[in-house]
Chain A
Amino acid sequence: MIGKGGPVALQPPQLAGVPEYVFCDPDRLRGILLNLYTNAAKFTKRGHIVLRARCVARDYTPPAPAGYSAIMLQPSYHPSSSSHRSMDMSSCVVLTPPAADQPQGSMSRAEVLQTAAAPVAAAPAAADDSDSSNLEPPQQQQQQQFEVEDTGVGITRDGLATLFREYVQGTDDEMCKPRTRGGTGLGLSICSKQVGVLGGVIGAHSCRGHGSTFWFKIPTYMRPSRSNSSSLGKQQQQQQEQSLSLDGRAPPALDTARLVGRRVLLAEDNLINQTVARKMLSSLGMHVEVAVNGLEALHAVQRTAAQQQQQQLTPATSSSSSTDDNTSNNKPDSSGAAASTPAEQPFSIVLMDMAMPVMGGVESTQQIRSQGFNLPIVAMTANASDKDRDECAAAGMNGFLSKPVLRDQLARALLAALEDYDGTQQQQQQQSEQ
C-alpha cells in the first residue's frame, strides 16, 4: 500500500530552487508525472517514491549511481525522423506510421467503428498550436528536470533497452511478483512522445533490486512581467496565473456571484461546443441563448435592444427582477433596465466563436459595434495567434479565450469583461447625472 501508514512512503515533492511559476504545457506535464508515479507505484513494494524538480543546465544529464544501468532518449515529434542518444544500449523510439492497409474511397460507418485488428504505433502528436500562442513572448528559457525515484524492484539492463517502447511485457525476472504480469504497456511510450512534443529528453537509471529513477528534462519559460490593465491584459494576467505552479498552489478562488442571473448570448455553430459551453454557463448561474452564426447573433442583439426600448416606452406591468445591469444610455444598448423574465432581459455579454458559417465572429462584432451596441463581446476560438487577437481587438471585442475553455477560465474572462464594462457604464451614468 502506498502512502500514510503503508509500506511505501509517498514523500512530498522536493522542489527546492524551482521558480514559483513557469510557462509550459501543464496538461502534458501532469500526464507524464502521473504516468511515472503510477509506474513507480506499480513496481514498488516497500521504501519510498519521491518526485524531485529543479532547474538544470541545458546539457545536464543526471548521472546514474555506480552499478546502475541507464538509458536516455531525445524523442523527436516528427514521424520522419528520430534521434536518440543511448548511454547504455541502443533503444531508439522510432515511431512508424501504420501500414496503409485501408482501401481508398469512402468508408462505411461500420468500417469506421471497426476495432483495429492490431495495435498501431501512432505518430506522436504535433506541438499544440493553440496553447502557448495566447501568451506574451517568454523572457527566458530554463530547463526543468523532473525525477521520480522509487525503491522498487528495479529493471535489468536488457529491460531498460526496450523500456520506452509500446506494449513491453514484463518477464518474471524483470517485473515484480505477485502483481499483474503486465508490463509498462503504453504509458512510458506515451511519456516519451509527450516529452518529445515538449522538446525534452527522457531517461531512466535503475538497478535490479534497488529501484529506479525515471527522469525527464524539458524547456520551460519564465513568467513575463505584468503589462496593461485593459480587459484583454487583465485576462492575460488571469490566464498566466493559471499556468502550472510548481509548488502546487491553486489560483485564488473565483467569486462568480456577479454572473448569476445575467444573460449571455453564445454564438457557436458546433453542437458539441455549444452543449459544453452552455452547461458551463448554466453552472455559473447564467441564462444562455444560442446563436449558430454571427448573423443570428447580430439579430439577437438587435431584437433584445428593440424589446428593451419597447419596455422603456411602456409602463412596467410587473415588478422587475433586479440585475447588475446598468440603465440604458443614449446609444441602443442591450444592457439596459431589467426585465421580468430571463428571456426579456438584455444580454449582459456575448461569447463569440470566430469561425462560423454565414457570418463569422469578427464580422458579426463589427456589425454589432457599428450599430452602436457596446455590450462586452468575448471571443472564443481555437485560433489563438497574436494576429487573431489583434483582429479581435480591432473589431471591438473586449476579451479573448482560447478553446478548449475550462470553466474557471471562462468565468474569469466573463468577470473581467463585465468589470470593465460595468465600471465604464457607472462612470457614464454619474457624468450624465451631474
Chain B
Amino acid sequence: MALLEQQLELVKCMQAEGILDDQFSQLIQLQDESNPDFVKEVVELYFDDSVGKIEKVYQLLSSPTPDYDELDQIVHQFKGSSASLGATYIAQLCIKLREGCQQQNAAACQQLVLQIREAFVQLKGRLDVYLQLDKQRTGG
C-alpha cells in the first residue's frame, strides 16, 4: 500500500476507534506547500506540551492538599490542546478530570490521570508511526 494510503488508513482506524476525531483530518487538509510540515509541527508541539502538563498534574496530585484550582486550569488547557489536535479521547478524559477537580475528589482524579497517561502513550505511539510514514513519504 502506498505510504500516503497507509497514513490515511492509520488515521481512519484511530478515528474509528474514537482516539482521534475529524479535527485531525482538518489538520491534514490544512497542510500545504507553504507549510508542508504543519501536521508534524502541531503533533510535536502537542507531545511536548502534554508531557509537561501530565508531569505537572502528577506533581499537584501528589500533594496532601492538591491545589484543585491550578489543577483545573492545567487540565482545561490540556483539554483545549487535545481538542485542537483531534485527540478526542484524551479531551473526554480531561472533561472527566475537571469534574473530579471541581468535586475535589483526589481518588477519582488520580485514576483519571492514569487513564490520560495511558491514552497519551497510546496516541503518541500511533502518531509516531504516522510521522515516520510521513518522513518516508516526503524523504524528510
> Are A and B associated in one complex?
yes
Q: List 21 A-B contacts (CB under 8 A).
A: A27-B88, A31-B21, A98-B118, A100-B114, A106-B55, A106-B58, A108-B55, A109-B51, A122-B89, A123-B93, A126-B93, A128-B92, A193-B18, A270-B84, A273-B81, A276-B84, A277-B84, A279-B30, A280-B30, A404-B84, A406-B26
Q: In the bound complex, do residue A276 and residue B55 qualify as a contact, i.e. CB atoms below 8 Å apart?
A: no
Q: In the bound complex, do residue B46 and residue A112 qualify as a contact, i.e. CB atoms below 8 Å apart?
A: no
Stretch of A67-75, A113-121, A228-236, A342-350 on the interface side: A113-121
Q: In the bound complex, do residue A105 and residue B23 qualify as a contact, i.e. CB atoms below 8 Å apart?
A: no
Contacts of A382 in B (CB 8 A): 76, 79-80, 83
B77 interface contact, C-beta 8 A: yes
Q: In the bound complex, do residue B55 and residue A107 qualify as a contact, i.e. CB atoms below 8 Å apart?
A: yes
Contacts of B26 in A (CB 8 A): 280, 406-407
Number of residues on chain A facing chain B (CB within 8 A): 51
Contacts of A128 in B (CB 8 A): 91-92, 95
Q: In the bound complex, do residue A187 and residue B83 qualify as a contact, i.e. CB atoms below 8 Å apart?
A: no
Q: In the bound complex, do residue B15 and residue A31 qualify as a contact, i.e. CB atoms below 8 Å apart?
A: yes
A125 in complex: contacting residue of B18, B30, B46, CB < 8 Å: B18
The answer to whether residues A107 and B16 also contact, given A98-B115, A114-B121, A270-B81 and a CB cut-off of 8 A, is no
A35 interface contact, C-beta 8 A: yes
Q: In the bound complex, do residue A109 and residue B16 qualify as a contact, i.e. CB atoms below 8 Å apart?
A: no
Interface positions of B from 19 to 53, Cβ below 8 Å from A: 21-23, 26-27, 29-30, 32, 34-35, 38, 41-42, 45-46, 49, 51
A135 interface contact, C-beta 8 A: no
The answer to whether residues A122 and B119 also contact, given A97-B111, A270-B77, A271-B45 and a CB cut-off of 8 A, is yes
A140–B82 Cα distance when bound, in Å, is: 32
Q: Mark B53-87, 1 if CB is under 8 A from A, else 0.
A: 01100110110000000000000110111011110
Give min CB distance, B13 to chain A, whole Å: 8
The answer to whether residues A126 and B16 also contact, given A27-B22, A106-B59 and a CB cut-off of 8 A, is no
A141 interface contact, C-beta 8 A: no
A11–B30 Cα distance when bound, in Å, is: 32
Give min CB distance, A315 to chain B, whole Å: 36
Interface positions of A from 393 to 407, Cβ below 8 Å from B: 403-404, 406-407
Interface positions of A from 374 to 412, Cβ below 8 Å from B: 382, 403-404, 406-407
Give min CB distance, A267 to chain B, whole Å: 14
Contacts of B55 in A (CB 8 A): 106-109, 112
Question: Which residue, A27, A35, A115, A277, has most C-beta atoms of chain B within 10 A?
Answer: A27
A355–B80 Cα distance when bound, in Å, is: 11
Q: In the bound complex, do residue A275 and residue B18 qualify as a contact, i.e. CB atoms below 8 Å apart?
A: no
A186 interface contact, C-beta 8 A: yes
Q: In the bound complex, do residue B80 and residue A273 qualify as a contact, i.e. CB atoms below 8 Å apart?
A: yes
A246 interface contact, C-beta 8 A: no
A100 in complex: contacting residue of B35, B62, B93, B110, CB < 8 Å: B110
Q: Mark A37-51, 1 if CB is under 8 A from B, else 0.
A: 010000000000000
Give min CB distance, A270 to chain B, whole Å: 5
Q: In the bound complex, do residue B21 and residue A105 qualify as a contact, i.e. CB atoms below 8 Å apart?
A: no
A272 interface contact, C-beta 8 A: yes
Q: In the bound complex, do residue A406 and residue B23 qualify as a contact, i.e. CB atoms below 8 Å apart?
A: yes
B125 interface contact, C-beta 8 A: yes
Give min CB distance, A122 to chain B, whole Å: 5
Give min CB distance, B47 to chain A, whole Å: 9
Contacts of B18 in A (CB 8 A): 28, 31, 125, 190, 193-194
Q: In the bound complex, do residue B62 and residue A112 qualify as a contact, i.e. CB atoms below 8 Å apart?
A: no
The answer to whether residues A270 and B80 also contact, given A109-B55, A283-B32 and a CB cut-off of 8 A, is yes
Give min CB distance, B119 to chain A, whole Å: 6
Contacts of A186 in B (CB 8 A): 17
Q: In the bound complex, do residue A279 and residue B38 qualify as a contact, i.e. CB atoms below 8 Å apart?
A: yes
Q: In the bound complex, do residue A406 and residue B22 qualify as a contact, i.e. CB atoms below 8 Å apart?
A: yes
A104 interface contact, C-beta 8 A: yes
Contacts of A187 in B (CB 8 A): 16-17
Contacts of B62 in A (CB 8 A): 104-106
Give min CB distance, A103 to chain B, whole Å: 9
A28–B89 Cα distance when bound, in Å, is: 11
A31 in complex: contacting residue of B17, B112, B114, B118, CB < 8 Å: B17
A129 interface contact, C-beta 8 A: yes
Q: Which chain A residue has the least Cβ–Cβ distance from B43? A: A272
Give min CB distance, B135 to chain A, whole Å: 19
Q: A276-B30, A277-B84 are in contact. List 10 more A-B contacts (CB 8 A).
A: A112-B120, A115-B125, A116-B121, A122-B115, A123-B111, A125-B88, A128-B92, A272-B85, A279-B30, A404-B86
Q: In the bound complex, do residue A275 and residue B45 qualify as a contact, i.e. CB atoms below 8 Å apart?
A: yes
Q: In the bound complex, do residue B15 and residue A272 qualify as a contact, i.e. CB atoms below 8 Å apart?
A: no
A102 interface contact, C-beta 8 A: yes
B51 in complex: contacting residue of A104, A112, A123, CB < 8 Å: A112
Question: Which residue, B26, B41, B61, has most C-beta atoms of chain A within 10 A?
Answer: B26
Q: Mark A273-289, 1 if CB is under 8 A from B, else 0.
A: 10111011011000000
